[in-house]
Amino acid sequence: MKLNRWLSAIFMACLVLLSGCEIDNQTIAQNSLVYCAEGSPASFNPQTDTSGTTIDAIANQLYDRLIRFNDDNSIAPALAKSWHLTRDGKMVTFYLRKDVTFHQTEYFTPTRNFNADDVVFSFERILNTEHPFHQVSGGKYPFFQNVQFSNIVEGIEKINDHTVRFKLREANSSFLANLATDYAVVLSQEYGQQLLSQGRQEEIDSKPIGTGPFKLQSYQSGSLLRYYRHESYWHNEVKLNQLVFDITASDTGRLTKLLTNECDVIAYPIAPHKIKENPNLIVEEVTAFNIGYLGFNTQKAPFDDPQVRRAVAHAINKDAIITAIYGEQGEIAHSILPKSSWAHDSSVIPIEYNPEQAIALLQEAGYEDGLTFDIWAMPVQRSYNPNALTMAKLIQADLNQIGVKVDIVSYEWSTFLRRLGQGEHQSVLLGWSADHPDPDNFLTPLLSCNSAETGSNRAFWCDQEFDSLLKLALKTDNINQRKNLYLQAQAIFQRDLPLLPLAHSKRFQARHEQVKGKILNSFGGINFAEVSKL
């Protein structure tokens, strides 16, 4: 009720002030759109950063990939108009589209169109540690390292200007899906050569050049990101002349700007049911492939003991978390994989809320007098966890009931991620949004031994049998065999419980009714390529 009264107050205030609240739209050209985002991109190259904020801001606005996902999650042509996979699954040949242009900006004027050299350049940068651009931005390629891309690809060969061949070390059933993600973008080799000749290699990730529907005009960190239309975009006529990302970290600030017409579209709106009451506003939602979880650092006491992890799991009231944190925007997760995944294990027995059982397990583990540990709560809002701090407080209260003391820890986001990567935490509230529909995109980045070393496995859990099952599943295209292997892997996960699945959420976005076209994707970032504003 408090929230409703507060929102109503905002609505009323904005109605009164509406004439005065119309922002300097005169400075924004007609057919331009302002998107209020929750944060600034960490990079202008999605090869080097996997955060949702970065992907939203740049991946689909600036770049294209060889292939992409259709709405039904099938793989469709993009910069490659077609492809051929050999019978043994070890050779993939892409036939490239002609007459695709790169951006012309104040800092680069292309002299040729996209061709095979650009594909080789883009992926050699990731694979070849001797490549002149490999160490730019620290030599980190999180998505590709998590999927062990360098172990998958043996080499890339230019056959001719419009044909490229990837040679794989062995068949890999998720290879095409990986190339269709938002991270597998194609850069300009010609731009790279220009930067290299001028000794300014680092600008390849800060002054972007792509083939996407928009090109970068200006950027003020923490404030504004301005794109102009790519006039000769190959795929479709881009209807927006200008696309502006207004960086507004506060969720109430974004809502206020939507109501006062300073934003046309806002990310992660609070109280979407209230926004729906306004006939001039539209709330969109997609059922996302994601998971919000409590991760246990399995390399540190007390969570190096699976029995303690299970005890804590029994002490947490997931129903209360869903009600308080997600409302209608989430559902309880009993498994890492959402129900809509073809590899979801419907036979999993949920871990029931049972404080008595939690106490008994702790006593068996040697914690008769209780214990103390910390929970790291991320300071930012994510679709998989809209309010980690409040969630931590709920868990703190639950565990207090069984004699367990919880200290809640949080840092500024970049510090949080850095210290988390160093394994300083005992447990953490975090989550994952899948990049594509293949179940491997949940299981490998969150739970594989390799990702424990490269960063996204925050439990630092490494089980060789589990890892072997994931690798076997990638060697076959037989979906029944793959499902059987993933079910075995999930059984090991349920036995060891390195992460406690909490919730699967939906992603929401609010906009004015004058904004037309699809923006939200089930996987990955947002896309304004086919959006218009009346």
Domain stop point among 211, 241, 266: 211
Residue 26's pLDDT is 47
**pLDDT value, residue 513:** 94
Q: Is residue 100 in some structural domain?
A: yes
pLDDT of res. 413: 85
Using alpha carbons, select from 73, 153, 36 the residue that is nearest to residue 434: 73
Residue 451, pLDDT score: 86
Q: Is residue 486 part of a domain?
A: yes
- Distance, in Å, from the CA atom of 64 to the CA atom of 79, rounded to the nearest integer, reads 7
Give the model's confidence band at 459: pLDDT under 50 very low, under 70 low, under 90 confident, else very high: very high
Burial readout 130-153 (b: 16 or more C-beta within 10 A, e: otherwise)? ebebeebbeeebbbbbbbbbeebb
pLDDT computed for residue 372 by the predictor: 97
Same domain, 358 and 463: yes
Rounded average pLDDT over 81-87: 94
Asked if residue 415 and residue 348 are part of one domain, the reply reads: yes
So what's the pLDDT on residue 273?
81
Strands, E, within 169-269: which ranges? Answer: 214-220, 224-229, 242-247, 265-267
Structure tokens at 492: 């090991």
Whole-angstrom CA distances from 110 to 99, 101, 114, 172, 212 are 13, 8, 10, 35, 14
Average pLDDT, integer, range 274-291 = 88
Evaluate if residue 27 carries a pLDDT over 90. no
Per the prediction, the chain carries an average pLDDT of: 91
CATH number at residue 381: 3.10.105.10
Global pTM reads 0.75
- Give yes or no: residues 306 and 400 share one domain: yes
d(Cα 78, Cα 277) in Å, to the nearest integer? 39
Instruction: Map tokens 């600034």 to a residue.
Output: 40
What is the structure's pLDDT at 23?
43
pLDDT at 28: 54
Cβ atoms of 280 and 258 within 8 Å: the answer is no
Which residue has 């900006």 as its token pair?
105
Looking at the fold, whether 75 and 113 belong to one and the same domain comes out as yes
Measure the CA–CA gap between 75 and 66, rounded to whole angstroms: 10
Give bridge partners of residue 214 from the DSSP assignment.
229
Is 51 part of a structural domain of the chain? no
Question: Exposed/middle/buried for 396, CB within 10 Å: 0-12, 13-18, 19+?
Answer: middle
9 located within any domain = no
pLDDT at 392: 98
DSSP 185: B
pLDDT at 480 over 60: yes
Confirm whether 132 is domain-assigned: yes
**Residue 10 in domain:** no
- Res 24 pLDDT > 60: no
362 and 404 in contact (C-beta within 8 Å)?
A: yes
Query: Is residue 21 assigned to a domain?
Result: no
Confidence of residue 434 (pLDDT cuts 50, 70, 90): confident
Cβ neighbourhood burial of 74 (10 Å; 0-12, 13-18, 19+): exposed
pLDDT band of residue 323 (cuts 50, 70, 90) is: very high
The yes-or-no verdict on residue 22 having pLDDT over 50 is: no
Do 225 and 138 have their domain in common?
no
pLDDT of res. 30: 65
* pLDDT value for 329: 81
Between 203 and 15, the more confident residue is: 203
- Residues 486 and 417 occupy one common structural domain: yes
Between residues 242 and 507, the one the model is more confident about: 242
CA distances from residue 131 to 86, 211, 354 in whole angstroms, order as listed: 28, 22, 55
Specify the pLDDT at position 119: 98
Measured distance CA(96)–CA(220) in Å, rounded: 35
233 and 301 part of one domain: no
Average pLDDT over residues 356-375: 95
Average pLDDT, stretch 189-211?
A: 97
pLDDT at 16 over 80: no
pLDDT score for 103: 98
Q: Quick one: CA dihedral 298, 303, 309, 313, positive or negative?
A: negative
What is the predicted pLDDT for the residue at 10? 52
Inter-residue contact 180 to 75 (CB < 8 Å)? yes
Across 369-398, average pLDDT: 93
CA distance 497 to 333: 13
Q: What is the 3-state secondary structure (H, E, C) of 21-84?
A: HCCCHHHCCCCEEEEEECCCCCCCCCCCCCCHHHHHHHHHHHCCECEEECCCCCEEECCEEEEE
pLDDT of 268 higher than 50: yes
Supply the range of the domain harboring residue 364: 290-506
Q: Kindly indicate the confidence band of residue 259, based on its pLDDT and cuts at 50, 70 and 90.
A: very high
Query: What pLDDT is attached to residue 524?
Result: 65
Residue 25 lies inside a defined structural domain of this protein: no
CB contact at 8 A, 293 and 335? no
User: Tens of pLDDT along 124-167?
Assistant: 999 999 999 999 999 989 889 878 899 999 999 999 999 999 99
Sign of CA pseudo-dihedral 44, 531, 507, 496: negative
Instruction: Please report which confidence band the pLDDT of residue 288 belongs to, taking 50, 70 and 90 as the band edges.
Output: confident
Say whether both 114 and 196 belong to one domain.
yes
Domain boundary, last residue among 211, 237, 255? 211
